[in-house]
Amino acid sequence: MTYKKYLKESNYVSGQWIAADSGKTIDVTNPATGEKIGTVPACGEAETVRAIEAATAAFPAFAAMPLLERVGLLWKLHDAILDNQKSLAELLTVEQGKPLAEAMGEMAIGAAYVRWFAEEVRRAKGEIVPAPGNNRRILVTHHPVGVVGMITPWNFPSSMLARKVGPALAAGCTVVAKPATATPYSGLAWAALCEEVGFPAGVVNIVTGSARAIGGAIMDSPAVRKLTFTGSTEVGKELIRQSADTVKKVSMELGGNAPFLVFDDADVDAAVQGAMVAKFRNAGQTCVCANRFYVQAGVYDTFVEKLIEATAKMKVGDGLADGVEQGPMIDQESVAKVEELVADAVSKGGTVALGGNRHALGQTFYEPTVVTGATQDMRVAKEEIFGPMAPVFRFDSIEDGIAMANDTEFGLCAYAYTREIGQIMRLNEGLEYGMIGINSGLITTVEAPFGGVKESGLGKEGGSQGLDDYLDTKYTAVDY
């Protein structure tokens, strides 16, 4: 095991590795074993203010760094991630629980985001717009927004930073980031990597500790011009409110409640294959995880039978063990929520067709679960499950399917399996979601704009739009 190489038990502020002023620390444990991995500093407002000051001081020189030099640092960062992919992936699995193969994938996509934004920034072109009269030029140019605050969750503790740190650094912004307390090491590893490849002191600062204290200092600071947050809708709303006082730009990747529609004409085997990825990746703990399976009446029985068969084969265990497909959940609270949702579904007429219990492995392991006969009055129709439970609903017409799919305040990602082109276009029109996967259960890619509508968020990550969110547009009129 080589994960200790990037296990940093201190914070990174102004190019220094620091402890909390109070000397206090927080324990970090492995969810698969319950064992303590190490500690991180319990920092708060004072350390965060210093991090913001460092980022503010570093900004002018970093923004003015010749573009190719900055891009060169990003190339090195990309290479450093891939050169250390195994160590970083092991660290991620040890603190977060996901199977090592998934952790390796998270590192690969993280590196890919860095490369994508390093490429994209070289084409962040401005415009010269025709003026209404003679003797004037209208220039439209792009400039880094300034210091960016970042707050990230525990489910993708590395790649969520990749798609924030990548475009921020490409644009010439400086960073103050707070990783989730459950999984701080994958966040702190970004500081170690940035230091290693030579980003100047103060460009990237990472602090761990109280969410309220660190978040509060970031939100209160007029120097922080943008906040990018990935996490729950509840906390996102609170941060949007807090952003008002200093009128920060905000990017919000919030909760999802993804519908997964299977139509009568679908290739059911492909739909089941897609369902397994869309549902059980990261033990169901992704914001784009299929939350509700809507299956058209004609293929309902076949789909359910095949889904159960595939789900029953899943290998559950410690993410570091060979061949494991589902690791533990992040904590006891998350397991308790899945238990409640299963009990609620059963009390309203649902049937547990597979699983439905804590796993014999103990800790926070939960059995891969399929519940059939789900209905819109169940909590699973409205709430994000964030666990390995697949509720299956039945629908008749495409209109019913779309209406049920849209019956939620969320609008992040939707999936549908059908081969009929007219139906695909109606889904494109009718589904109120920021992302739609047709005949695919895995659509996240660096080239595409990831992000939701309705209460799932604001802004995009990835694609060319993912860079725009870190740039201000400036208009200059030049009369001559």
- Tokens matching residue 395: 């629908």
In the complex with ligand ADP, which residue's Cβ is closer, 180 or 299? 180
Provide the terminal-to-terminal Cα distance of the chain, rounded to the nearest Å: 66
287 is catalytic: yes
Measured from the CB of residue 161, what is the shortest distance to ligand ADP in angstroms?
11
Q: Shortest Cβ distance from residue 95 to ligand ADP (Å)?
A: 13
Which entry of 287, 289, 325, 461 is annotated as an active-site residue?
287
Single out the residue of 211, 321, 424, 453 in contact with ligand ADP (rule: CB under 6 A): 211
Q: What is the CA radius of gyration of the chain?
A: 23
Contacts of 158 (CB under 8 A, 6+ apart): 88, 92, 106, 107, 110, 186, 187, 189, 190
Choose, by CB under 6 A, the member of 153, 259, 368, 459 that binds ligand ADP.
153
Q: CB nearer to ligand ADP: give 114 or 180.
A: 180
Q: 374 is written with which tokens?
A: 């789900």
Of the listed pieces 29-37, 79-87, 208-216, 437-445, which binds ligand ADP according to CB under 6 A?
208-216
* Interaction pattern, residues 102-141, with ligand ADP; x per rule: CB under 6 A: ----------------------------------------
Instruction: Give the footprint of ligand ADP on residues 228-257 (CB under 6 A).
Output: 231-232, 235, 238
- Of residues 212 and 419, the one with the C-beta less far from ligand ADP: 212
Q: Is 350 in the site for ligand ADP (CB under 6 A)?
A: no
Nearer to ligand ADP (CB atom), residue 206 or residue 414: 206
Q: Which two tokens stand for residue 421?
A: 């082109």
Pick from 215, 259, 317, 437: which binds ligand ADP (CB under 6 A)?
215
181 belongs to the binding site for ligand ADP (CB under 6 A): yes
Considering only 176-184, 276-284, 349-357, 400-408, which stretch makes contact with ligand ADP by CB under 6 A? 176-184
Helix (H) or strand (E) holding 342: helix 332-347
Helix residue ranges, H only, 97-177:
100-120, 159-171
Catalytic (active site) residue 234: no
C-alpha distance from residue 194 to each of 75, 302, 436 (Å): 11, 50, 34
Stretch that binds ligand ADP, among 21-29, 174-182, 256-264, 310-318 (CB under 6 A): 174-182
Residue tagged active-site, from 102, 253, 384, 461: 253
When binding is defined by CB under 6 A, the residue of 37, 151, 191, 370 that contacts ligand ADP is 151
Residue with tokens 């666990």: 387
Stretch that binds ligand ADP, among 210-218, 345-353, 375-383, 455-463 (CB under 6 A): 210-218
Q: Which is nearer to ligand ADP, 144 or 328 (CB)?
A: 328
Residue nearer to ligand ADP on the CB measure, 69 or 333: 333
Inter-residue contact 383 to 362 (CB < 8 Å)? no
SS (H, E, C) 198-240: CCCCCCEEECCECHHHHHHHHHHCCCEEEEEEECCHHHHHHHH
Q: How far is the CB of 287 from ligand ADP (least distance, A)?
A: 8
Question: Cα 142 to the chain's mean position, in Å?
Answer: 26
User: Which of residues 37, 51, 180, 385 is near ligand ADP by CB under 6 A?
Assistant: 180
In the bound state, the residue with its beta carbon closest to ligand ADP is 215
| Residue 375 touches ligand ADP, criterion: CB under 6 A | no
Segment interacting with ligand ADP, rule: CB under 6 A, options 150-158, 220-228, 275-283, 295-303: 150-158
| Residue span binding ligand ADP (CB under 6 A) among the ranges 72-80, 227-235, 354-362, 427-435 | 227-235
Cα–Cα distances in angstroms (integers) from residue 431 to residues 126, 252, 263, 393, 441, in the given order = 33, 20, 15, 17, 16
CB-facing half-sphere around the CA of 434: CA atoms within 13 A: 28
Nearest of 113, 121, 105, 122 to residue 78 by alpha carbon: 113
| Interatomic CA distance for residues 153 and 176, integer angstroms | 15
Q: Closest approach of Cβ 155 to ligand ADP, in Å?
A: 6
Contact 238, 51 (CB under 8 A): no
Binding-site residue total for ligand ADP (CB under 6 A)? 14
426-459 in b/e form (b: 16+ CB < 10 A) is bbeebbbbbbbbbeebebbebeebbbbebbbbbb
Closest to ligand ADP by CB, 41 vs 231, is 231
Residue with smaller CB distance to ligand ADP, 170 or 204: 204
How far is residue 99's CA from residue 321's CA, in Å, rounded to a whole number? Answer: 8
Measured from the CB atom, the residue of 58 and 389 that comes closer to ligand ADP is 389
- Residues interacting with ligand ADP, by CB under 6 A? 151-154, 178, 180-181, 211-212, 215, 231-232, 235, 238
- Tell me the catalytic residues: 253, 287
